[in-house]
Amino acid sequence: MKSVVLITGASSGFGEACARKYAGAGHPLVLGARSTGTLDALRDELSGQTRVHAAFLDVRERSSVDRFLHELPGEFREIGILVNNAGLALGLSPAWDADWDDWETMIDTNVRGLAYLTRRVLPGMVERDRGHVVNIGSTAGEWPYPGGNVYGATKAFVQQFSRNLRADLLGRRVRVTNIEPGLAETNFSRVRFHGDEERARKVYADTEALTAGDIADIVHWVTSVPERVNVNTLEVMPLRQSWGPMAVHREGSD
């Protein structure tokens, strides 16, 4: 029997691509997102391949998380794979000039939201002694960059939270994986720049970024390897992205 897969932020980007990938493999799906119009259309499309339950979910609100899970039909209640995908970056200003609301939204979504879902779904996995939590982190959680401030910090939380889950789960057949994508062309930059399409396009201009499908393939793979295997962390960049030299400020420079 195929595991039930719960995907947050399922209406676009990595989440939508993961939904399509798991539907193609015959997994029953539980999809949550705030954009219910897009989510309902995805549910209707994928229902021809597998059983799909989709509903409004705002991971920032514990009451929304609780209601979403409480209202699951019985056939979807035993979550076997949790893909904590909901997350975002907002703004690229230096820390002293950043927008407070942007910071709070990133913390509420990337940290609290991920923690809420994990805390509610994990007990069932432990009780059944089977399951897999996949957290979508970022290379920003490993490597800093100007303007990354709180976004990078929230993804560093994802990394360490994933590691500590593994420590807690030692001896149980529940796996945890942190996927850390680099430059990927989705709606990520459009969200970061508050809908500024031109600025978002420049992020991906004249290069070849990862696609949402690339990440969905990786997420599906880490959950498909033999149960004795746990992929702890998988950092992935497009071939055209790499590290640069350490920054050095020199007197007289701007």
Q: Identify whether 204 is a catalytic site residue.
A: no
Nearest Cα residue to 177 out of 236, 120, 128, 105: 236
Distance (Å, whole) CA 58 – CA 252: 48
In the sheet with 233-236, reading across from the earlier edge strand, the strands are 52-56, 29-33, 4-8, 79-84, 131-136, 174-181, 233-236
Residue from 22, 116, 151, 204 carrying the catalytic annotation: 151
Which regions of 42-192 does DSSP assign to beta strands (E)?
52-56, 79-84, 131-136, 174-181
Closest alpha carbon to 131 in 175, 66, 78: 175
Catalytic site positions: 151
